[in-house]
Amino acid sequence: MSEIKKIKSALISVYHKDNLEEIVKKLHELGVVLYSTGGTKDFLDALNIPVTAVEDLTKYPSIFGGRVKTLHPKIFGGILNRRDHSGDRAEAQTYAIPDIDLVIVDLYPFEETVLSGADDDAIVEKIDIGGISLIRAAAKNHKDVVIVPSKEEYLPLLTLLKEKNGETSLEDRRWFANRAFAVSSHYDTAIFNYFNRGIDEPVFRSSFAQGKSLRYGENPHQKGWFFGDFDAMFDQLHGKEISYNNLSDMDAAVSLISEFQDPAFAILKHNNACGMAVAATLPEAWKRTLAGDPVSAFGGVVITNRGIDPETAEEINKLFFELIIAPSYAPEALNLLKSKKNRIILVRKPVAISSRQFRSLLNGAVMQDKDLSVETVDSLTYVTKVKPSAKEIQDLLFANILVKHTKSNAIVLAKDGQLIGSGVGQTSRVDALRHAIEKARAFGFSTEGAVMSSDAYFPFPDCVEIADKAGIRAIIQPGGSVRDAESVSYCDQHGLAMVFTGVRHFKH
């Protein structure tokens, strides 16, 4: 039989009816026989478009509060019978099963109901049964049937109807079938992940309904893609297309800035903060952030937790940077920042982010809870004779947040709410500390009276000794080494304060 098929009949059963009117009017214009259910039929009746109720076709009412409507042989037989199979055709004639050439479905909004905070009964009620079955059936028989599995495919269908007057090729139908299985698999993954909460069955399921190709991956010779709803989290106001590396830095930047309530700025390069400060005002926070490492700041990613005012924008604009993220921009500030054609300007929107993370590894994937531990004054253990002052405690907690978001092995030096030096991604904690001290001094900072944070414990007292000789007076670290006593003893002998958090913050 010919691969070109003419749509002569259609079943429409949708949740979202926006943008459906033009489609059903076009189908009516093309003489397509329409079948429908419940609210969708009411919608068609209101448009004065002839439609046959599914109940009239099946001779069976909608039952159990609408849970069973389309689950009937006359519906699924009309979809699944093979038009080029003599046995199927004979059975369809015997049981008076009409062909259904087009199925338009839009599933109950399960994910949206979960996000709304609805109770379990309401969520379970939004698990679509008939719709998902219709999608799979029509997609399976795509040699004969067109399946429109969600509102996202309404426009492609309308375009097809207008361009081909109700005719479809196998290539057309296969494209819609591909979309159908993408929709159904995503829907089932969302349901599984809802039910798997608290059970933690060791089965990995993750699905993103949206995605886009990137210019390339980490390097130009690598292909790259982003999967997720970028527009739900950011509005891009200006600039070039966002790259793979931009996205990676943005993830690190958002995670870091989310830990701060006071006015704060951070500049990141390769996922690590090269500048970070909190202050009473935003211009002051920017000035102190940039001072932390004005060399590395070149070409970096800038983020803040406050709206950008003109005064701050004037100072920021003096730096060449790739991308900026803020909750808002004053009009004058935005116009100023737009002076660089390719500069990416983003507004961050409030959106829930998963508390878990995963990555491909070897021939599979690993998943873990995100490091959401937040150490406070009450969670500190004071292990030395000298106790840190209130001001030092404030700086210690600031540095501890920073080291948590820095590649291991990591050491962070801070003073007065400002990052003054960091040792990043070193194979030795001693090297990380020496690097941090060297960077601080290179940019004119005195380490006298600074505090130090380590992402993991000190296996030997060498780091506290180096810190002491650099003038560092207070240290925060997880503790947990069998030789903790040696580090504590050194601090006691030399008048250093040290606190333990009990929480390691490796980041790889």
Q: Which one of 6, 8, 25, 140 is the catalytic residue?
A: 140
CA distance 144 to 256: 53
Contact 246, 323 (CB under 8 A): yes
- In the structure encoding, which two tokens stand for residue 324, read together? 């900026």
154 neighbors 19 (Cβ within 8 angstroms): yes
Query: Does residue 270 carry a catalytic annotation?
Result: yes
Structure tokens, 181? 């299985």
In this structure, the dihedral spanned by the alpha carbons of residues 437, 418, 294 and 349, taken in order and rounded to 10 degrees, is 130
By the 10 Å C-beta count (0-12 exposed, 13-18 middle, 19+ buried), 174 is classed as middle
The answer to whether 95 touches 102, Cβ cutoff 8 Å, is: no
Rounded CA-CA distance 81/74 in Å is 10
Given the residues 6, 240, 270, 340, the one annotated as active site: 270
Please name the amino acid found at residue 73. Answer: P
Q: How far apart are CA 374 and CA 400, in angstroms?
A: 9
With tokens 């007065």, the residue in question is 416
Contact present, 12 and 35 (Cβ < 8 Å): yes
Helix residue ranges per DSSP H, 13-72:
21-29, 38-46, 54-58
Lookup: tokens for 191: 């349901």
Is residue 140 annotated as part of the catalytic site, yes or no? yes
The first and second tokens of residue 101, run together, are 């050439």
Burial of 28 (0-12, 13-18, 19+ CB in 10 A): middle
User: Which of 186, 156, 183, 184 lies closest to 172, judged by CA?
Assistant: 156
The maximal CA–CA distance of the chain, rounded, in angstroms, is: 97
| Phi-psi map region of 355: left, alpha, beta (phi>0 left; psi -120 to 50 alpha) | alpha
Which tokens sit at 32?
């397509």
H or E stretch covering 171: helix 170-195
Q: Which of 110, 116, 131 is nearest to 195 (CA)?
A: 110
Q: Region of 33 please: left (phi>0), alpha (psi -120 to 50) or beta.
A: beta
Return the active site residues. 140, 270
